Structure 1
Amino acid sequence: MEIVEMDGSGRIYIPAEIRRRLNARRFRIRIVEGGLLLEPVDAVDSYYGRFGPPRYASLEEIEKALEDAAQVDLR
């Protein structure tokens, strides 16, 4: 386990050995009980929101939009 510090700008230094093992440059950060969780973002996730705000906020909204689109195609 490594101990690292956050600087005044909020940057955290991740030691080189850990960076090499992760083999990633983009991360999703989540607040979890007792700390932070960094998850590497794969190539598909890296495009999320890049071309504008997301249309749907939940899986249910996406499923409803798919159902509505299928109904239009069946008419």
Structure 2
Amino acid sequence: MEIVEVDGSGRIYLPAKIRRRFGVRRFRVKIVEQGILLEPLDDVDKYYGKFGPPRYQTLEEIEEALKDVSQMDLH
């Protein structure tokens, strides 16, 4: 367990040994019932949101879009 500090700008200092353990510089922050969870971002995750907001937010929206596309007349 490590104790970290928040600076005056709200930044959390993560010790180098923790950053090196995961080999990443970006983390996803999640609010969970017990507090705050930092998840290392995979390489693919670094592109999330780079090209505009995601088109679909839920699995249901994706399934509906697939259904709509599958019913399109391709002629």
TM over 0.5: yes
TM-score range, shorter chain: 0.7 to 0.9
| 1:27 aligned partner, one-letter code | F
Alignment RMSD (CA, Å) = 1.6
Q: How big is each residue's C-alpha offset from its partner over 1:38-65, in whole Å with a ceiling of 9 and x where there is no partner?
A: 1111122211111111111111101110
**CA positional deviation for 1:74:** 6.7
Please list, as runs of the form range in 1=range in 2, the aligned pairs for 1:24-39 lying within 5 A after superposition: 24-39=24-39
2:52 maps to amino acid: G
Which aligned runs of 4 or more in structure 1 are off by greater than 2 angstroms?
Answer: none
Gaps of 5+ in 2: none
Which residue of 2 is the match for residue 44 of structure 1?
Answer: 44
Distance (whole Å) between structure 2 residues aligned to residue 71 and residue 51 of structure 1? 27
In 2, the alpha carbon distance for the partners of 1:73 and 1:45 equals 34
